[in-house]
């Protein structure tokens, strides 16, 4: 069984790493890895491959940046000949980025079954590009792997047959647990002069926060208050950095004495930073989940989350981008007990193993025994 696996943007890399490793237990599964090149900077891409031990991609489509239409179309145009040439039995996509829907759409139109890992998550906010990507990807996938019960419930509500849905846990948490010890060896705290549990970490890149100068300014006001209370580390996404300059807000950040403004962090340094932080503030999806497992209170700078289990267990608060609400949430988080909550079910480091076992079983049940290499699958009508 040949499975073509897609990665494109930074949050995909942590999700694919344990899957690629788990395929090794199934010698008849031949994984092919394709990087769309949606993220391409050393610090947004290559560094993650090296640190997570992900093999060099078999192909890089080098699509780069662009508007949503330009980027999505570029991925679609570039992946089509690859799928026609490779003739995989299935295409596996993770998460909700533009590369996910672009490759999924091309695959199903070529008759290739689509596997979606991290399926069913919904923010119910259609102004988020990722929400559109999630809904569309799930509407064309054949088999669904969910990180939390809400994902299962959302798919059932959308009419997906229960036998196609698998609650397997969180492959990104597999990566976190595997790298926890390695990350502790990072010297990043010493380099920045930080004491464990005496600093906060923030990340910001959502269009709703960083493409709007008003929202950006309100968040910066909150950052100013927080950094007066304790050091605030802010590894800055290229999109955010470009916008801060465009809006004339960079000088304000540079003037904050207790703010550590850094380039995007590698995986291990960032894991060390979050694991030892007093509080994490973010608009990322994945970081809400990582801080839940690391036992660090999280404040999400959004009005909603597609990962409601993080709020339900008590690890995460939603604060939007209003200055007062962020500061109030920060005070509550400071008063909160670390790790005072139970981890969500199946976030135990074995999600990739469960996923690959289920893929193998699904394949054997739906498409018969694994095909001989070179033979074209009946399902892949290409
Ligand atoms: C993308 C995903 C988002 C994910 C995020 C993680 C979509 C719709 N969005 O958002 O879900 O949470 O990745 O980072 O797919 N840039 C660089 N170097 C890079 C990559 C990007 O400089 O290696 C800059 C470019 O100016 C680019 C901008 O960042 O235009 C945005 O990149 P893009 O991939 O379009 O979206 P992200 O905001 O990163």
Topology given in CATH for the domain delimited by 177-335: Rossmann fold (3.40.50)
Q: How far is the CA of 239 from the centre of ligand 1 (A)?
A: 7
Q: What DSSP element (H or E) covers 160?
A: none
Q: Which of 9, 62, 95, 100 to mutate to test the pocket of ligand 1 (most atoms within 8 A of CB)?
A: 9
Cα separation, 279 vs 287, whole angstroms: 12
Give φ, ψ of 27 to 5 degrees: -60, -25
Q: Helices marked H in the chain — which ranges?
A: 10-23, 47-52, 68-86, 98-109, 129-140, 149-157, 171-184, 188-192, 207-210, 213-229, 238-246, 250-254, 267-275, 286-294, 308-312, 323-335, 351-367
The pLDDT score that the predictor gives to residue 337 is 86
The pLDDT score that the predictor gives to residue 350 is 98
Give the pLDDT means over successive 10-residue stretches in the chain (382 positions). 98 98 97 98 97 98 98 98 98 98 98 98 97 98 98 98 98 98 98 98 97 97 98 97 96 96 97 98 98 98 98 98 98 92 97 98 82 42 35
Ligand 1 pocket, 10 CB below 6 A? yes
Cα separation, 151 vs 164, whole angstroms: 13
Topology given in CATH for the domain delimited by 2-170+346-367: Rossmann fold (3.40.50)
- Pair 209, 216: CB distance under 8 Å: yes
Q: Which of 97, 121, 128 to mutate to test the pocket of ligand 1 (most atoms within 8 A of CB)?
A: 97
Cα separation, 320 vs 212, whole angstroms: 13
**pLDDT tens column, 32-44:** 999 999 999 999 9
- Beta-carbon contacts of 275 under 8 Å, excluding residues fewer than 6 positions away, are 180, 183, 184, 294, 296
For residue 9, give the ligand 1 atom closest to its CA: 13
Active-site annotation holder among 116, 205, 237, 260? 205
Axis-axis angle for helices 129-140, 98-109 (nearest 10) = 20
Ligand 1 pocket, 11 CB below 6 A? yes
How many C-alpha atoms does 135 have within 13 Å on its Cβ side? 12
Q: What DSSP element (H or E) covers 198?
A: none
Pull the structure tokens for residue 91: 């295409």
Q: How far is the CA of 141 from the centre of ligand 1 (A)?
A: 24
Tell me how long the chain is: 382
Task: List the chain domain ranges.
Answer: 2-170+346-367, 177-335
Sign for the pseudo-dihedral over CA of 128, 130, 131, 135: positive
Q: Do domains 2-170+346-367 and 177-335 have the same CATH topology?
A: yes
SS3 59: strand
Q: Is 205 a catalytic residue?
A: yes
How many C-alpha atoms does 352 have within 13 Å on its Cβ side? 24
Cα separation, 224 vs 246, whole angstroms: 20
Pull the structure tokens for residue 132: 């559109």
Strand order in the sheet with 298-300: 259-262, 232-235, 200-203, 279-282, 298-300, 316-318
Task: Name the pTM for this structure.
Answer: 0.95
Q: Which of 69, 71, 103, 205 to mutate to test the pocket of ligand 1 (most atoms within 8 A of CB)?
A: 205
Ligand 1 pocket, 129 CB below 6 A? yes
The pLDDT score that the predictor gives to residue 369 is 63
The pLDDT score that the predictor gives to residue 375 is 43
The pLDDT score that the predictor gives to residue 186 is 98
For Cα atoms 240, 123, 346, give the angle at the middle one, nearest 5 degrees.
Answer: 100
The pLDDT score that the predictor gives to residue 374 is 42
Cα separation, 226 vs 210, whole angstroms: 19
């Amino acid at each position: 069984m040949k499975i073509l696996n897609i990665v494109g943007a930074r949050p995909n890399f942590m999700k694919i790493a344990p899957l690629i490793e788990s395929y090794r237990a199934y010698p008849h599964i031949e994984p092919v890895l394709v990087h769309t090149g949606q993220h391409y900077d050393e610090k947004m891409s290559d560094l993650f491959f090296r640190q997570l031990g992900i093999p060099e991609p078999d192909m890089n489509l080098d699509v780069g940046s662009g508007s949503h239409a330009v980027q999505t179309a570029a991925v679609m145009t570039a992946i089509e000949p690859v799928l026609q040439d490779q003739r995989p039995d299935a295409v596996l996509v993770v998460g909700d980025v533009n590369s996910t829907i672009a490759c999924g759409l091309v695959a199903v139109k070529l008759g290739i079954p689509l596997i979606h890992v991290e399926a069913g998550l919904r923010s119910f906010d259609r102004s988020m590009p990722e929400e559109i990507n999630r809904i569309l990807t799930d509407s064309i996938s054949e088999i669904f792997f969910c990180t939390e019960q809400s994902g299962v419930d959302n798919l059932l509500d959308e009419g997906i047959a229960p036998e196609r849905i698998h609650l397997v846990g969180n492959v990104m948490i597999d990566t976190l647990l595997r790298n926890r010890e390695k990350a502790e060896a990072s010297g990043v705290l010493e380099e920045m002069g930080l004491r464990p549990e005496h600093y906060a970490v923030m990340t910001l890149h959502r269009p709703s926060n960083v493409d709007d100068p008003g929202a950006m300014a309100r968040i910066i006001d909150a950052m100013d208050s927080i950094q007066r209370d304790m050091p605030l580390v802010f590894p800055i996404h290229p999109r955010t950095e470009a916008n801060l300059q465009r809006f004339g807000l960079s000088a304000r950040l540079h003037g904050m004495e207790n703010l550590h403004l850094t380039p995007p962090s590698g995986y291990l340094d960032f894991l060390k930073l979050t694991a030892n932080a007093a509080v994490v503030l973010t608009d990322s999806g994945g970081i809400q989940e990582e801080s839940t497992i690391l036992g660090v209170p999280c404040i999400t700078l959004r009005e909603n989350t597609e990962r409601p289990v993080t709020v339900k267990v008590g690890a995460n608060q939603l604060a939007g981008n209003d200055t007062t609400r962020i500061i109030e949430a920060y005070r509550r988080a400071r008063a909160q007990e670390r790790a005072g909550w139970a981890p969500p079910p199946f976030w135990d480091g074995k999600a990739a193993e469960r996923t690959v076992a289920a893929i193998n079983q699904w394949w054997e049940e739906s498409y018969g025994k694994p095909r001989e290499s070179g033979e074209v699958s009946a399902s892949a009508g290409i």
